[in-house]
């Protein structure tokens, strides 16, 4: 008995020592196996009971069972403590520190051409113009025929473009939206039509795709001076200051008389003969315009004897370059900034 009770206390001591070194559940499990497993110390003790004289077996058995209960309970408590500690560690790791400064994020921005389009459209909306858009894949009829450019007309050469097998083409200007708008809304009418246009041009100052904004006003007794005032208002609002401008006589089949608009050089105002923007001329050509040709009004199913009007077409890319000091047209189309011209919010599709 003495011998066995000593063994019992040795097992207990060993267990105490072993438990003191445990730091995780795996180690704890090893100890559980070592003491309470099938071949564990406690099981061996129980098996050795048979070797004791019968009168000592009961007391020794009770002692061993008591020790087993104690060991099992301490193992459970240790397991719980380890799990609690691990959970707490995990919780601390997962905790979000709301006092940390934010990492910051880069804001997206509109492409300068889109920005320019928004600005010009806003200005024109302020003058009572609506926004209309039309298809980029256009019919010859709207792009040329209705614009007073019949098939034989030499002006077609200036705007040669990309044709599809079915005879449609990539529109060469936003002017076809003039006709579509007149047919859809009738007169009186005030619209601006921003969008992409295409021509067979590709050199450092021309791109096969560029952006225009068309403007059309149709009403009774529209005079040339209304057009001048409107254009001056738009240019000054866009550049944020009063710029000199001049009209040069020009020719477009769809306007008569026709002119081109030059504005004072936004870079040097004509004071630098080496100016990189105006090359010393002091003037920048920014738009074509004129009083709408009666044939075009007629093509829009409006009576040219009652109504007349003016139309203008600005190059949005050129305006963006001038306003934002962009020196090379190609910069506008390089890179991968995607933008979406034709889905202008609130635009009426013609």
- Judged by the rule CB under 6 A, the positions of this chain that interact with ligand PHE are 173, 175, 214, 252, 255, 288-290, 311-313
| For ligand PHE, the closer CB: 35 or 238 | 238
- Minimal distance, residue 137 CB to ligand PHE, in Å: 17
Could you give the residue ranges of the DSSP H alpha helices within the chain? 2-21, 25-36, 41-48, 54-94, 112-126, 140-143, 155-158, 176-185, 224-239, 294-299, 316-324
- Minimal distance, residue 314 CB to ligand PHE, in Å: 8
Measured distance CA(72)–CA(66) in Å, rounded: 10
| For ligand PHE, the closer CB: 161 or 264 | 161
DSSP string spanning 92-132?
HHH---TTSPP---PPP---HHHHHHHHHHHHHHHTT-EEE
| For ligand PHE, the closer CB: 134 or 290 | 290
Which structure tokens are listed for 276?
A: 């990189």
| For ligand PHE, the closer CB: 41 or 172 | 172
| For ligand PHE, the closer CB: 129 or 252 | 252
Cis bond before residue 188 (omega within 30° of 0) = yes
Q: In 3-state terms, what secondary structure has residue 216?
A: strand
| For ligand PHE, the closer CB: 60 or 213 | 213
Note whether 284 and 263 are within 8 A (CB). Answer: yes
Which structure tokens are listed for 231?
A: 């254009």
- Minimal distance, residue 143 CB to ligand PHE, in Å: 10
Picking from 206, 201, 159, 198, the residue whose alpha carbon sits closest to that of residue 318 is: 206
Measured distance CA(231)–CA(262) in Å, rounded: 11
- Minimal distance, residue 181 CB to ligand PHE, in Å: 13
| For ligand PHE, the closer CB: 40 or 134 | 134
The dihedral sign for the CA sequence 224, 229, 234, 235: positive
- Minimal distance, residue 293 CB to ligand PHE, in Å: 9
Q: Give, as one character, the DSSP assignment of residue 169.
A: E
- Minimal distance, residue 286 CB to ligand PHE, in Å: 11
Residue number of the CB atom closest to ligand PHE: 313
Picking from 150, 49, 121, 38, the residue whose alpha carbon sits closest to that of residue 344 is: 121
| For ligand PHE, the closer CB: 288 or 300 | 288
- Minimal distance, residue 311 CB to ligand PHE, in Å: 4
- Minimal distance, residue 178 CB to ligand PHE, in Å: 7
- Minimal distance, residue 281 CB to ligand PHE, in Å: 20
| For ligand PHE, the closer CB: 35 or 252 | 252
| Exposure string for 250-284, b = 16+ CB within 10 A, e = fewer | eebbbbeebbbbbbbbbebeeeeeebebbeeebbb
């Amino acid at each position: 008995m003495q011998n066995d009770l000593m063994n019992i206390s040795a097992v207990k001591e060993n267990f105490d020592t072993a438990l003191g070194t445990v730091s995780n559940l795996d180690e704890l499990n090893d100890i559980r196996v070592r003491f309470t497993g099938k071949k564990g110390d406690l099981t061996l003790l129980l098996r050795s009971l048979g070797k004791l004289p019968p009168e000592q077996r009961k007391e020794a058995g009770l002692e061993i069972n008591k020790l087993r209960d104690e060991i099992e309970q301490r193992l459970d408590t240790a397991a719980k403590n380890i799990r609690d500690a691990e959970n707490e560690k995990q919780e601390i790791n997962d905790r979000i520190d709301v006092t940390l400064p934010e990492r910051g994020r880069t804001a997206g921005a509109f492409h300068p051409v889109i920005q320019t389009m928004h600005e010009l459209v806003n200005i024109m909306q302020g003058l009572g113009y609506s926004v209309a858009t039309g298809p980029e894949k256009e019919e010859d009829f709207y792009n040329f025929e209705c614009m007073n450019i019949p098939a034989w007309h030499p002006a077609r050469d200036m705007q040669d473009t990309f044709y599809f097998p079915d005879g449609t083409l990539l529109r060469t200007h936003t002017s076809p939206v003039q006709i579509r708008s007149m047919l859809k809304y009738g007169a009186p009418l005030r619209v601006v039509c921003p969008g992409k246009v295409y021509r067979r041009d590709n050199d450092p100052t021309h791109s096969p795709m560029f952006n225009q904004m068309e403007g059309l006003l149709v009403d009774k007794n529209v005079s040339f001076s209304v057009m001048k005032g409107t254009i001056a208002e738009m240019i000054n609002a866009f550049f944020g200051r009063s710029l000199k401008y001049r009209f040069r006589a020009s020719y477009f089949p769809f306007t008569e008389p026709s002119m081109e608009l030059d504005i004072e050089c936004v870079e040097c105002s004509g004071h630098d003969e080496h100016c990189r923007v105006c090359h010393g001329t002091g003037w920048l050509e920014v738009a074509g315009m004129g009083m709408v040709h009666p044939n075009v009004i007629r093509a829009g199913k409006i009576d040219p004897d009652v109504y007349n009007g003016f139309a203008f077409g600005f190059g949005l890319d050129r305006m963006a370059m001038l306003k934002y000091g962009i020196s090379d047209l190609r910069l506008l189309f390089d890179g991968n900034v995607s933008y979406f011209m034709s889905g202008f919010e609130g635009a009426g599709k013609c």
